[in-house]
């Protein structure tokens, strides 16, 4: 393939991803120095189109960035009024009282929000300050340069390439995209970002840290009977239907306009390859407590996204020559609180302050060690260190012991600043945790009823997902033979089940079996890149503007 010639644009800082982390960085850079040239690239068709989060927002990040956000009309209107936690059985529920929980678990003072709408509003604030925000511009490659010592450094990204044919050749309307170069590049791509993966591997950023752990979060928006709606109510559950098959739980958040967010998270370190996370979510809605709430209502939106769950132990080195990792690209989610947006914003602020100071000092393209130091010692560290043992306890000991000992650990950390358990380590990666199919029983899932539960493809239509079908498939198989020759006989090819959008299918049987990739369905959750037991799937970005178009997630 001939080398592509591209035009180039120069900026002080190039930011990939218009999520809470990237937009916070852009705004903070302009607050410090309005003369800085800052660009934000967003692969979604508009800002917020690919944002999916619970979300109950802890506003500490936004308070630090834009203290007068209320006066500026931020779409943050529903304070948490009631906080419920249940352990579910198949037919009943046991409410866990709030009083034994450490103060950090209290949701009062937080807000139920659509993070997509919050990001849309943040983008408006950024643009008013002079930030260039380009939606529909997927950053597909790293632009490399050499430092004074001849070592590779990140110099920018390639964005806006369109019009390749399915075989990778240039189509009649081919546009090569542009090189957007910066003194520093900030990657806020979210979980398992495609460019972040390249940089992490090249510079060995995960060395000395636990492997990142992940969950798959699936979410529906429901409009329910006004008589059942309780604005400001937050409910979390654990237990049924997952039981001992997997860790995870649910959330139900009552926002305004008689709508509720109904979400379900499955930890991706499950062993049984027959587990079908999407169907676990659909089965959950038939629990009497949930069914009673949703009956008579209608589902209006659906989406899915992987969640970083490794916490403090799994945060990689977040700086490389010329680049930094922000937010979920660095894995800054507080797992027991089910919150990461505040830390994403704080990471963007810290990175911006480090970059602005470096640029003022005449630096460019080096390692922003000041950002790393802030993350390891500042408010993000304070938030994540307190809860660092909850996830490994859950993985090693199961639900009930982790509730007891995890609660004790959070209390001692909150009150005295230390842990009786030290810092527990995570085990193997989520892909390596997958067991062989012959060692586990298949799980019989009830057929969706079309009222409370739905088949995958019907639900995907409620994510407004679209991909130009003539482009190359963005889901790359390192070895095309592996799904049928290895994953099917050994693991019953779990891609058929772990994907929440029905992207992967095995067609036919025996010698006629074929592996089919329906990339048009992809909602960009990245689960395949994480959970494939052979680590044979590489998720890369499709052309800009493609993918889901979430309206209110």
Q: Which residues contact 67 (CB under 8 A, 6 or more apart)?
A: none
Does the predicted TM-score (pTM) go above 0.75? yes
Query: How confident is the model at residue 286, as a pLDDT?
Result: 98
C-alpha–C-alpha distance, residues 499 and 516, integer Å: 13
C-alpha–C-alpha distance, residues 11 and 39, integer Å: 7
Q: Residue 536: enclosing H or E segment and its boundaries? A: none
C-alpha–C-alpha distance, residues 431 and 421, integer Å: 27
Helix (H, G, I), strand (E, B) or coil at 143: strand
For 518-531, how does the pLDDT look when each residue is reduced to its tens digit (9 = 90+)?
999 999 999 999 99
Contact 474, 542 (CB under 8 A): yes
C-alpha–C-alpha distance, residues 349 and 73, integer Å: 21
C-alpha–C-alpha distance, residues 103 and 377, integer Å: 21
Query: How confident is the model at residue 504, as a pLDDT?
Result: 98
Percentage of the chain modeled with pLDDT above 70: 100
pLDDT at residue 396 greater than cutoff 90: no
Q: Residue 233: enclosing H or E segment and its boundaries? A: strand 233-239
For 453-486, how does the pLDDT look when each residue is reduced to its tens digit (9 = 90+)?
999 999 999 999 999 999 999 999 999 999 999 9
In CATH, the number for domain 8-68+116-209+316-385 is 3.50.50.60
The three-point CA angle 391-276-541 to 5° equals 80
Name the pLDDT band for 402 (thresholds 50, 70, 90).
confident
Closest to 192 in 3D by CA, of 428, 465, 524, 495? 524
Phi then psi for residue 50, to 5 deg, are -110, 15
pLDDT at residue 1 greater than cutoff 70: no
The three-point CA angle 57-294-51 to 5° equals 35
For 148-197, how does the pLDDT look when each residue is reduced to its tens digit (9 = 90+)?
889 999 999 999 999 999 999 999 989 999 999 999 999 999 999 999 99
Name the pLDDT band for 418 (thresholds 50, 70, 90).
confident
Helices marked H in 417-469 — which ranges? Answer: 456-460
pLDDT at residue 30 greater than cutoff 80: yes
Query: How confident is the model at residue 400, as a pLDDT?
Result: 82
Closest to 319 in 3D by CA, of 187, 190, 159? 187
pLDDT at residue 104 greater than cutoff 90: no
Query: How confident is the model at residue 4, as a pLDDT?
Result: 81
Query: How confident is the model at residue 194, as a pLDDT?
Result: 97
Cβ neighbour number for residue 280 with a 10 Å cutoff: 24
Domain ranges of the chain: 8-68+116-209+316-385, 389-416
Contact 349, 28 (CB under 8 A): yes
pLDDT at residue 118 greater than cutoff 60: yes
DSSP state, residue 44: S
Cα-Cα-Cα-Cα torsion 352, 358, 359, 361, nearest 10 degrees, comes to 150
Q: What DSSP assignment string belongs to 271-326?
A: --TT--HHHHHHHHTTSHHHHHHHTT-EEEEEEEEEEE--GGGG----EETTEEE-
Contact 217, 264 (CB under 8 A): yes
For 209-230, how does the pLDDT look when each residue is reduced to its tens digit (9 = 90+)?
999 999 999 999 999 999 999 9
Q: 417: phi > 0 → left, psi -120 to 50 → alpha, else beta; which? A: left
C-alpha–C-alpha distance, residues 258 and 238, integer Å: 25
The three-point CA angle 207-425-263 to 5° equals 100
Contact 45, 214 (CB under 8 A): no
The three-point CA angle 495-509-487 to 5° equals 35
Query: How confident is the model at residue 2, as a pLDDT?
Result: 58
Q: What DSSP assignment string belongs to 146-215?
A: E-TTS-EEEEEEEE--EEE-TTSSEEEEEE--EEEEEEEEEE---TT-HHHHHHHHHTTTTTTSPPP-EE
What is the average pLDDT value for the chain, to the nearest integer?
Answer: 96
Query: How confident is the model at residue 394, as a pLDDT?
Result: 86
From the CA atom positions of the chain, what is the Rg in Å?
23
């Amino acid at each position: 393939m001939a080398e592509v010639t591209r035009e180039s644009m120069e900026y002080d800082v190039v930011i990939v991803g218009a999520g809470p982390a990237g937009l916070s960085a852009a705004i903070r850079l302009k607050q410090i120095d309005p003369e800085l040239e800052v660009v934000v690239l967003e692969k979604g068709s508009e800002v917020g189109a690919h944002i999916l989060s619970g979300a109950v927002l802890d506003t500490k990040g936004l308070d630090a960035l834009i203290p007068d956000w209320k006066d500026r009309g931020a779409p943050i209107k529903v304070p948490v009024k009631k906080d419920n936690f249940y352990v579910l059985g198949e037919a009943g529920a046991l409410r866990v009282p709030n009083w034994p929980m450490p103060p950090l678990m209290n949701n009062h003072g937080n807000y139920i929000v659509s993070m997509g709408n919050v990001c849309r509003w943040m983008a408006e604030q950024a643009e008013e300050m002079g930030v260039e925000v380009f939606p529909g511009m997927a950053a597909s490659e790293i632009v490399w340069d050499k430092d004074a010592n001849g070592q590779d450094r990140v110099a920018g990204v390639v964005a806006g390439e369109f019009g390749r044919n399915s075989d990778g050749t240039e189509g009649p309307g081919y546009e090569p995209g542009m090189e957007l170069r910066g003194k520093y590049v900030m990657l806020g791509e979210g979980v398992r970002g495609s460019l972040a993966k390249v940089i992490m591997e090249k510079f060995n950023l995960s060395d000395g840290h636990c492997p990142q752990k992940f969950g798959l979060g699936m979410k529906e928006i429901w409009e329910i009977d006004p008589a059942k709606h309780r604005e400001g109510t937050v409910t979390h559950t654990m237990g049924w239907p997952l039981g001992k098959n997997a860790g995870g739980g649910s959330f139900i958040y009552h926002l305004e306009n008689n709508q509720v967010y109904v979400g379900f998270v499955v930890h991706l370190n499950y062993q049984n390859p027959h587990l079908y996370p999407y169907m676990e979510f659909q089965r959950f809605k038939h629990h009497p407590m949930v069914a009673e709430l949703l009956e008579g209502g209608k589902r209006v939106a659906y989406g899915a996204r992987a969640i970083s769950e490794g916490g403090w132990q799994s945060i990689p080195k977040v700086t490389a020559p010329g680049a930094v990792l922000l937010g979920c690209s660095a894995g800054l989610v507080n797992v027991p609180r089910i919150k990461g947006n505040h830390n994403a914003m704080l990471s963007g602020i810290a990175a911006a302050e480090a970059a602005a100071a470096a640029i003022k000092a005449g630096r460019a393209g080096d390692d922003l060690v000041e950002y790393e130091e802030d993350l390891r010692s500042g408010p993000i560290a304070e938030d994540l260190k307190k809860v660092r043992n909850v996830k490994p306890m859950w993985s090693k000991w199961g639900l009930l012991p982790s509730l007891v000992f995890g609660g004790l650990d959070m209390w001692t950390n909150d009150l005295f600043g230390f842990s009786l358990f030290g810092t527990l380590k995570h085990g193997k990666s989520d892909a390596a945790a997958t067991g062989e199919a012959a060692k586990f029983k298949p799980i019989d899932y009830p057929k969706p009823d079309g009222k409370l539960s739905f088949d995958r493809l019907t639900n995907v239509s409620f994510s407004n997902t679209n991909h130009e079908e003539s482009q190359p498939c963005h889901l790359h198989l390192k070895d095309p033979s592996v799904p049928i020759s290895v994953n099917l006989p050994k693991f019953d090819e779990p891609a058929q089940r772990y994907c929440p959008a029905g992207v992967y299918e095995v067609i036919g049987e025996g010698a006629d079996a074929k592996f089919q990739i329906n990339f048009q369905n992809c909602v960009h959750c990245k689960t395949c890149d994480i959970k494939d037991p052979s680590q044979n799937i590489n998720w890369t970005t499709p052309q800009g503007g493609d993918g889901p178009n979430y309206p209110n997630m």
